[in-house]
Chain A
Amino acid sequence: MDKIGERIAFERSGTRLYDALIVKYHAALELDPDALPHELPADLEGDLSVSGSPDEILARIRAEELAHFGLLCDAMTQLGGDPTAQTPCADIIAVASSGLMQVLNDPRTTLAQCLNAMLTAELTDNAGWELLISLAEEEEQTDLAASFLQALEQERQHLAVVRGWLAAIVSDQPHPAVV
């Protein structure tokens, strides 16, 4: 349950990080509309296919982070825990990720710098879900493990989006306004 508490905290603050990333994206657009791709790369990583405008994709990821938060709150309640409690691991993950919030909300950081910070978040998020799934399987919570696996699939896409977008911005004719 401590680990579910950790993921609750991370998905909730992740939703807030995407709120900040959306603001950052719009600020970068205002600064120089030509500096950013209008479409994200269609095939980001192997079989993970994501397409659409950055705006739509960011809004979708933000909604999924929020939905994962809801899923975890449900799981915590189902196991007899309090989803509003700050568990020890939730407390520590907040310390570990406090720098991400600082980077995302700083008006002086670029979109690329923020995507780099989000890469840290998404890598941690993916590993966190993988661990949670194995813990659920160990405890023979098969329904939970299955729903966590669905969330992990979405998190893999989030990671691919962030990684691909960051690579595209920094390596393909880097533009000073966003790098």
Chain B
Amino acid sequence: MAINLLQDRGTPLESQRFTWKELVQKPISKLDDDAFTRVRIILMNGVELDSLRIKQVLLRMNRALRTPIAQLMRVEQHQATLINWLIGADHSPIETTIAYEQAAIEITASVAQLEPDTYLAQGYRFALLEDFDHLYRYSALLDRLEGKDANNITQGHTDIVPARPTAMHHRAPEHELLQPYAPSAALATKLHALTLTGGEYQTHDYYMNIGPLLTDPLARQLYAEIASIEAQHITHYGSMINPDESLMEKMLLQEACEVWNYAACAEQESNSRIKALWERFVDYELGHLQVVMELFKQHERRDPAEVLGDGSLPPGVMFESHREYLREEIDAETNLRKDGTAFVSEDREGATSIAYRQQMNKDGSPSTTVSATYRWAPGTELARVVTPKAA
């Protein structure tokens, strides 16, 4: 049955409980589960962490709402834990990185096609081609450092080829911003921007944490370089969000965003145990939304329908391979650049970005070095050079 954000009450907040054992469940199988199960786990961890982030800001800025915000955050902390702990420890940090980039690529490709605002859709496609190139650079690192094939993680759903070169992603901050959506924008537009901002935040934070854990100097440089670009992407997507929304309105949208994403996960999940988890969390988020809608009415004296419309959910993210779409986009838009908030051709790129990039790449480009002459091959690039029966 279709979910209605205004009418479906979900699980009451006071009934949302966990145990430590429940928080730390058996992880998914790296080898047997579908790659999109892992993609959904990565997505929802990012969405939950961003919800916590927004609420921590609100907590510091709103005396009257401190208690309900703290109560909501307690549950969300545990939701995020349960989800993130589903990733098994047999993923090396670089393999998990491959999974993060695949999640970024396939989710953004879906969002770019769902987005009704043509300018913002362009914004999704723009950063999408950058995450796509990151997958290629990290695949080269995985191959050359660990001797592993990134396709064991992507499972053939996502191409491993270059797009807009990572060395070209470095832009001056003033050219990173986009025009925000209008207050009257479609609910879908708002949910898309929140989802991608949360996703990029998570990716950035992950790279910032694991980059220093690697010993290889080039690997450390590559994580430093791409973490910087993910920080740009947080700004890129974050600047899509209307800065004039009230904090309460942002919280309301965040809860709707969580329902919307969990619903898409539940609908498409192939692992029955994980599907049950997504369904449970759809109900938890509907319960959170109920709490926030009440607070919105009490404190803002506004009707949640002003923000959520008739309560119906826009079409959800499609967790599937977008190979053909991506190939077309790579052909068409790899050469796009930014000038202020506009997307421009290569020759019209903002001058300060070029200067900034020259400075950062002055002593060499880690992403270029790590992937020099790299071409993905099944079973790693060494498989291409071995002579059969050579031993």
Q: Spell out A's residues near B (CB within 8 Å).
A: 8-9, 12-16, 19, 64, 66-71, 73-74, 83-88, 91-92, 94-95, 98, 101-103, 105-109, 147, 150-151, 154
Given contacts A84-B149, A103-B215, A147-B391, contact A12 B90 (CB under 8 A): no
Please pick, from B151, B152, B219, B386, the residue contacting A73 in the complex, using a CB distance under 8 A: B386
Are A91 and B389 touching (Cβ within 8 A)?
A: no
What residues on A are CB-neighbors of B149 within 8 Å?
Answer: 84, 86
Closest residue of chain A to B153 (Cβ to Cβ) is: A86
* Nearest CB of A to B146, in Å: 6
Q: Number of residue pairs across A and B with beta carbons under 8 Å?
A: 97
Closest residue of chain B to A87 (Cβ to Cβ) is: B31
Are B391 and A16 touching (Cβ within 8 A)?
A: no
Q: Is the CB of B212 closer than 8 A to any CB of chain A?
A: no
Q: Is the CB of B2 closer than 8 A to any CB of chain A?
A: no
Task: State the CA gap A88–B214 with chains docked (Å).
Answer: 24
Size category, B interface:
20 to 34
What residues on B are CB-neighbors of A150 within 8 Å?
Answer: 391
List 24 A-B pairs, Cβ < 8 Å: A13-B146, A16-B147, A66-B386, A67-B386, A67-B390, A67-B391, A70-B389, A71-B391, A73-B383, A74-B389, A84-B378, A86-B148, A87-B31, A94-B90, A95-B89, A95-B92, A102-B214, A102-B215, A103-B215, A105-B216, A105-B219, A106-B215, A109-B215, A154-B391
Interface residues of B in 240-285 (CB under 8 A from A): none
Please pick, from A8, A9, A16, A88, the residue contacting B31 in the complex, using a CB distance under 8 A: A88
Interface residues of B in 340-389 (CB under 8 A from A): 378-380, 382-383, 385-389
Task: State the CA gap A98–B387 with chains docked (Å).
Answer: 27
Q: Is the CB of B9 closer than 8 A to any CB of chain A?
A: no
Task: State the CA gap A127–B215 with chains docked (Å).
Answer: 28
Are B388 and A74 touching (Cβ within 8 A)?
A: yes
Task: State the CA gap A64–B390 with chains docked (Å).
Answer: 8
* Nearest CB of B to A118, in Å: 15
* Nearest CB of A to B18, in Å: 28
Closest residue of chain A to B213 (Cβ to Cβ) is: A102
Shortest Cβ-Cβ A-B pairs, 6 listed: A70-B386, A106-B215, A13-B147, A84-B379, A105-B216, A67-B390
Q: Is the CB of B322 closer than 8 A to any CB of chain A?
A: no
What residues on A are CB-neighbors of B147 within 8 Å?
Answer: 9, 12-16
Closest residue of chain A to B219 (Cβ to Cβ) is: A105
What residues on A are CB-neighbors of B151 within 8 Å?
Answer: 84
What residues on B are CB-neighbors of A74 within 8 Å?
Answer: 388-389
What residues on A are CB-neighbors of B145 within 8 Å?
Answer: 16, 101, 105
What would 14 more interface pairs be, CB under 8 Å, given A16-B146, A84-B378? A8-B379, A16-B144, A67-B387, A69-B382, A71-B389, A73-B386, A83-B379, A85-B152, A92-B90, A95-B89, A106-B216, A107-B217, A109-B215, A150-B391
Task: State the CA gap A88–B36 with chains docked (Å).
Answer: 20
Please pick, from A13, A19, A86, A102, the residue contacting B152 in the complex, using a CB distance under 8 A: A86
Interface residues of B in 124-159 (CB under 8 A from A): 144-149, 151-152
Given contacts A94-B92, A94-B146, contact A12 B387 (CB under 8 A): no
Q: Is the CB of B323 closer than 8 A to any CB of chain A?
A: no
Are B389 and A94 touching (Cβ within 8 A)?
A: no
Q: Is the CB of B78 closer than 8 A to any CB of chain A?
A: no
